[in-house]
Structure 1
């Protein structure tokens, strides 16, 4: 079927634009929320279904693996079905799989439902980005990205708070049921506005070998990262095998995809300087950011005695400046070089982690919250300019593929960042604990004095030693966390180099999104 390369649709106006923006943003919010909402509900889910918390974590892993595999397929699926039809199908299947998750009678059914949910969720984020950009005129593309970015910033913060509250006050299935009304509204609003704005459909052959290789290497990598800590990493034959499969699978995948006329993932996008450097900068930075989102609540709860709700409240202010500043950045971006905005974000992140690197076991709530507030400001200047750089200069028909591939790499780096940081935290905690205990024992006057004070307070010898060991453990874990924060701060400064490796077509150039003409 011979068709023009691309259909140009006029920008939306008035109520249609507002409704379209709301519907697409809600879809992203629902999707991102579901990747984090189950985290704090794992004890409730595993207890209710009669499995261990370790088995319960497969509820998170299964979603992540399926989601990571399906995101980069967005470009190919869009050509097959059209972006509006694909988005609608993804949303409706997401609603159905959410209902199946809530109805699951056992852990096996829940994991299968979560795999389906993760797989169908893949195209939702890149397609919402593409559809939103096509709704605005080119001069307003930065504002469109700002509105879209706000939902991706807020959802990871709301997820754990909402999941904990629902699990405590209702029952865990409701963390999935809440998607049903949101998803149905999104589907109705999207179809009523966008059904006449479908992209060109081109039937191209399925790259079956490329798809199989993608599933193999991404699945092996995600399993290796998720199970590494539990199985003591490379001391386990299973982890070594998964690593070999992931590496060999990735090498074969790259070789195969580069030789295909219709690859399942368009790796040629990495030949573009803006795309390659922008994706590297946003993905590594997101890995550092996401890893800290895991470390901070864990440190507060396991070492400093915070409850899950209190830890959530400490982390929640990150959304304040992110929400307030995102529209401002959206208006400012067309007038300035996006690289300066991104550089400011990276300097802000570096400041945040340098401040956190000064934490100690006596840190108060005020000093915990100040870096979190600054982080929110940095986040508002992070996603928007880098996404603008990554997508700048792409042909309209390439936007879904470019958005899908960049989101895939970012999501993968987020998972890797969380796994690497928690492993580093454990290893550095063990190292600091062993160093601190070298100066204990009866050869240490400080140790003897502390033990005597505890004995005089009526505490038995074993209990006293237990209390002192706990104090050392808290100190060691805190020192390990600050080590990681120092490392992250310097890495953020180093990533500024890759921001300036990009060359936007012109200062504040709007993103060329299909139909935004």
Structure 2
């Protein structure tokens, strides 16, 4: 390869890629990041098939999802440190290969706990792909081009979790659950070859003088325990279960010790002091947590709502969600370029958060008669909102940073988004359970024997069952009561889902004032990220 395309552009000892190599590197890192994100949701639609095929309970199979999430959230903040230790290029390629090998082993697993183990290994490989891909992308583009780079990366952030259920639905329906893992193999091998061939190690390297084993251990135990609590808390009635209480204590102690240790040790595994050097990163972390909460919280509730109550299939659910993700992808690059040219990230994020608030509120107004057409327009609002939020907040996290700080910032920011999603799912799940109980009590209170309309409704159901099912009057009465109970529960769940959507809308409204604390530096849009 000759000319500028091979040589790249040099600045401060660092090589910025151009031409064909730049294009291939961009595609490679986006594909790698999407592999990781797709696998966070692709297995969700295959849970019942895995349960039946491997003879495991649904609770046991849920560990296939939990183990991946725990491994992810442990590795993500360590990615900057591991990239410096092993070399960012080597670490990236090794992580893709580990992810690909683990995908193969997951697909051929013949019992549930073997699958859970290899799924954890897959999560270790996958956890590195998101922050390392982002760091490589920022080191490939010149500082004044990072708005476009952020737009490209944000497109993958939104498309990945949305494509997962749709792809998983097709693979499970037309092939088998194993293909949720096998599909990663050719893509992973191609991505690792492209990374080996085209990605270069940064000329400005940051060697690790000493491995912070204490920090790594505290982070792994603390974050792993926290993720476990969030994944299992609701199903185990939270602190009514002793081991949930113990894991909570372990998480609090280990994370507090981790923060203290990393701020006082000379060679930290996760350099938390970068939060002090960049006030915008600290604000971005809070906003990213909120965005993760809203994104994964709504993405958790919506499929449950439309599949359980409205009868949508997994594939139809994915198809309904897909256009909104495509809209986010379509506007990502223009928004990134607008930021490059000096557009205000405050204004873009304000519009995005207001739009997401409106989207959540509109979902909270849906009825049991709503169909795909109504959801199409509401979800397009979601796609618009995520584009206007993701690009500015992702760029904000690295504004003014350079060198190893970029790797630390991307790792922290991605970990916070993952934790925001975990909190969003856990809190939303708990809130829904409590609201279902509350709405059931409210609805049943109006179904007394003294309520004329309720009695007429029950009698009508009983008469219908007597006529169509040849039941005795007594059996028809019992059957009518069970049918009415089913209707009450369906209505209770519907009202609870609507409450959950509106709670997310209120949360975004409450977080809008955070935007006032963002520091907009003159020319930051043209040089975001700083030089090397």
8 Å contact from structure 1 (residues 134, 514) kept in 2: no
Output the CA distance in 2 between the equivalents of 1:513 and 1:160: 37
Secondary structure in 1 matching 2:517: coil
> 2:255 corresponds to which residue?
250
Correspondence 1:221-300 to 2 at 5 A: 221-271=226-276, 272-300=278-306
1:235-285 residue CA offsets vs partner (Å, 9 max, x unmatched): 111211111111122111112221111111111122231011111011112
Aligned to 2:112: 107
Distance 2:230 2:321 in 1: 25
1:427 pairs with 2:434:
yes
* 1:190 matches 2:195: yes
SS at match of 1:402: helix
In the alignment, is the contact (CA less than 8 A) between 2:262 and 2:272 conserved in 1? yes
Indicate the residue corresponding to 1:307 in structure 2: 313
Q: Please list, as runs of the form range in 1=range in 2, the aligned pairs for 1:340-351 lying within 5 A after superposition.
A: 340-351=347-358
Deviation at residue 144 of structure 1 after TM alignment: 0.9
Unaligned stretches of 5+ in structure 2?
Answer: 1-10, 467-475
Further displaced range: 234-243 or 301-310: 301-310
Name the Cα RMSD after superposition.
1.7
Match of 1:366 in 2: 373
Q: In the alignment, which residue of structure 2 is the partner of 1:141?
A: 146
Deviations 1:423-467 (A, max 9, x none): 111110111011110110211111011112223324421221122
Q: How does 1:88-167 map to 2 (within 5 A)?
A: 88-167=93-172
Task: Give the aligned partner of residue 50 of structure 2.
Answer: 45
Is 1:465 the equivalent of 2:465? no
Look up the match of 1:498: 514
For the residues of structure 1 that align with 2:61 and 2:194, how far apart are their CA atoms?
35
How many Å separate the matches in 2 of 1:50 and 1:309?
A: 25
CA distance in structure 1 between the aligned counterparts of 2:216 and 2:128, rounded to whole angstroms:
15
Output the CA distance in 1 between the equivalents of 2:345 and 2:253. 37
State the distance in 2 between where 1:196 and 1:266 align: 21
The alpha-carbon deviation at position 509 of structure 1 amounts to 4.1
8 A Cα contact 2:80 2:408, kept in partner: yes
CA distance in 2, matches of 1:177, 1:281: 35
Asked if 2 retains the 8 angstrom alpha-carbon contact of 1:392 and 1:505, the reply is: no
Query: Is 2:393 the partner of 1:377?
Result: no
Distance in 2 (alpha carbons) for counterparts of 1:500 and 1:143: 25
Query: Once structures 1 and 2 are overlaid, which stretch shifts more, 416-425 or 506-515?
Result: 506-515
Three-state SS of the structure 1 residue aligned to 2:16 is coil
Contact 1:278 1:499 in 2 (8 A): no
Match of 1:3 in 2: none
Deviations 1:475-514 (A, max 9, x none): 1111111212222112112222222211032252432266
**Counterpart secondary structure, 2:110:** coil
| Deviation string, structure 1 residues 304-360 (Cα, Å, up to 9, x no partner) | 222222222332222131122112212211231111111111011011012112122
User: Equivalent residue for 2:330?
Assistant: 324
- Displacement of 1:196 in angstroms is 5.5
TM-score (norm 1): 0.95
Q: 1:380 to 1:190 in 2, by over 3 A?
A: same
Secondary structure at the aligned position of 1:440 is classed as coil
Equivalent in the alignment of 2:422? 415
TM-score (ref. length: structure 2): 0.92
- Structure 2 counterpart of 1:77: 82
Count the aligned residue pairs.
Answer: 510
Q: Distance in 2 between matches of 1:160 and 1:95?
A: 20
Secondary structure of the residue aligned to 2:501 is helix
Report whether the alignment pairs 1:508 with 2:513: no
- 2 CA distance for matches of 1:443 and 1:305? 34
Q: Secondary structure at the match of 1:512?
A: coil
- Structure 1: which 4+ aligned runs deviate by more than 6 Å? none
The residue aligned with 1:395 is 402
Q: Which moved more, 1:176-185 or 1:264-273?
A: 264-273
Measured in 1, the distance between the counterparts of 2:203 and 2:37 equals 25
Tell me how far 1:180 sits from its aligned partner.
Answer: 1.3
Unmatched tracts of structure 1, length 5 or more: 1-5
Answer whether contact 1:393 1:505 (CA < 8 A) is retained.
no
Alignment match, 1:487? 503
SS at match of 2:335: helix
Which one of the candidate residues 155, 167, 177 is aligned to 1:172? 177
